[in-house]
A and B are shown apart, each in its own frame.
Chain A
Amino acid sequence: MTAILFYILSAICIISSILMIFHKNAMYSVLFLLICFFSVAGLYVMLNAQFLAIVHIIVYAGAIMVLFLYVIMFLNMSTPITIRKSKLVMGIAVFTGSSLCFVLVTALWATNFGQNPAIVNQDIGLASTLGKVLFNEFLIPFEVSSVLFLSSMVGIVIFNKKEQKDE
């Protein structure tokens, strides 16, 4: 049962990411990426990581992709266009892409798939487990990043205020 669900979700994930890359219309690309995010969230739920799944949806699907759509709507990028770049840029793109592919393949090669971490500990993705790890082992990085987020939020407000004074 779970195996069938896993294959269905993975198939949706892979197909939607391929469609996202190859679709000419930027609007559809964003929507396919959304479908991809949802299937990834489904995979998280299957690993008993509901907290991660829902935060993934709130942050990526609910906030970041909305901003993507926003930009696409405003810049009117939805009309299909063929992008022509110089030979140099294309060469660099191919090089970066293939080196990323190399890194991923070697990482996959080194992974031991015999041990599934999710089977070892069923509670690994629950909010309480995550909280204990974050506030014990990773307290300082967690606090620093939260201050960073807060300061960026406050920064936007101040940025907006200064602009109004200049007028």
Chain B
Amino acid sequence: MEIIIFKIFLVLALFLLSITIAAYSTFSERKVAAFMQDRIGPNRAGPFGLLQPLADGVKMIMKEEILPASSNKLLFILGPAISMVTALMASAVIPWGPDITIAGTKVHLQVADINIGILYIMGVVSIGVYGIMIGGWASNNKFALLGAVRASTQMISYELAMGMSIIAVIMTTGSLSLGNMVTGQSGWHGMAWNVVLQPLGFLIFLICAFAETNRTPFDLPESETELIGGYHTEYSSMKLGFYLFAEYINMFLSSAVISCLYFGGYNFPFMDIVQQNTGEILFAFICFLVLMTKILFFIFFFFWVRWTIPRFRFDQLMNLGWKILLPLSIINMLITGTIILLNQ
């Protein structure tokens, strides 16, 4: 019973964490953009503009709700809802820290330690495209439809290379569970990170993560210069807010997945020494902070790339996905397999 209460508490905490991180990502993205373009950025609401996300949220809710007359009403509302739900679902299998003891039993700091965690994430990602497709189609607008079609082609194309690079990681760790994958990287005093074993796989996964979250240079589904706003052209008020928010939550969670798969999750150098000298709860908290640092770095990396690399053309995007990333990921898988075979 205590465990169920703890898990419910964990779910609520993760929900609030995702929302807060997403809200402050919008703020920090504008700050990073301002820094890179030699501007100041938002600085009016609160000290250093820290209340800006709150102001943005209130603005989103207060704006007029518009249901286009020619749209499909039910699906129009369903679209952003699916986007938001699938974005929030992925956090369930991410291990946020080592096991802790609560009321005499060992508990994972993870909502669900299912033995197919990484496949669950793949499944949630592949469902996420429906939010964009349904919303884009239900708007009954050519630009929105084009954006939705682009989103679906892009996601399906990059899922292949993404899956292939994940297979290489599964081969090295020998497990489908994210919890096992992270504990498997705790060798060498917490420095046996998969990025050392899988540098090519990491690069492929990173590029695919950009494509799956629709971030620049892969933000063709909403490229404002060609498609006005892409799939969310017709959306207003909090429904638009949900789409934008889902993108930031996806970014947060893909950073978390990258950290867990390739950068050791909550493992940090010389963690075994720290573990001997600190209490269990404190150690778990330090591990959580380490994981959050890694995640925040990758979120920053998303911003960094956005303001550095311009958007691809659509044929360039398809060529990169099918002709470069897919063969590379297959080669990566073959090399991994050969090395594992030779080491036996």
Contact = CB atoms under 8 A, between A and B. Distances in A.
A69 B152 contact: yes
Interface residues of A, number: 27
A157 interface: yes
Interface string A6-18: 0000000000000
Contact of A63 (B75, B120, B126): B126
A58 B121 CA distance: 10
Given A156-B322, A160-B322, A70 B123 contact: no
Contacts of A153: 160, 326
Interface stretch (A49-57, A93-101, A102-110, A133-141): A49-57
B122 interface: yes
Contacts of A34: 130
B211 interface: no
A58 B116 contact: no
Interface in A48-85: 50-51, 54-55, 57-58, 61-63, 66-67, 69-70, 73-74, 78
A147 interface: no
Interface string B317-339: 00000110011001000000000
A27 to B, nearest CB: 7
A150 interface: yes
A127 interface: yes
Given A153-B326, A156-B322, A157-B323, A54 B116 contact: yes
B152 A51 contact: no
A155 to B, nearest CB: 11
A54 B115 contact: no
Contacts of B123: 54, 57-58, 61-62
A118 interface: no
A126 interface: yes
Interface of A is mostly: helix
Contact of A69 (B122, B127, B133): B133
Contact of B119 (A58, A78, A150, A157): A58
Nearest to B138: A27
A55 B152 contact: no
B266 interface: no
Given A61-B126, A69-B133, A73-B149, A54 B156 contact: no
B341 to A, nearest CB: 14
A167 B18 CA distance: 49
Contacts of A54: 116, 119-120, 122-123
Interface string B24-46: 00000000000000000000000
B322 A73 contact: no
A127 B196 CA distance: 27
Contacts of A150: 330
B107 interface: no
A57 B148 contact: no
B75, B148, B160, B322 interface centre (most CB from chain A within 10 Å): B322
Contact of B152 (A70, A78, A157): A70
B330 A67 contact: no
Contact of A62 (B72, B75, B126): B126
A127 B176 contact: yes
B120 A73 contact: no
A70 B130 CA distance: 11
A127 B322 contact: no
B149 A74 contact: yes
B128 to A, nearest CB: 9
Contacts of A61: 123, 126-127
B152 A66 contact: yes
B251 to A, nearest CB: 20
A63 B160 CA distance: 10
A50 B67 CA distance: 39
B135 to A, nearest CB: 12
6 tightest Cβ-Cβ pairs between the two chains A and B: A62-B126, A57-B123, A54-B119, A58-B123, A54-B123, A157-B322
11 contacts: A27-B75, A50-B115, A62-B123, A62-B125, A63-B126, A69-B137, A70-B133, A70-B149, A127-B176, A153-B326, A161-B323
Interface of B: 72, 75, 114-116, 119-120, 122-123, 125-127, 129-130, 133-134, 137, 145, 148-149, 152-153, 155-156, 159-160, 176, 322-323, 326-327, 330
Given A62-B126, A126-B115, 8 more contacts: A27-B137, A54-B123, A62-B127, A66-B126, A67-B156, A78-B137, A153-B326, A157-B322
Interface of A: 27, 31, 34, 50-51, 54-55, 57-58, 61-63, 66-67, 69-70, 73-74, 78, 126-127, 150, 153, 156-157, 160-161
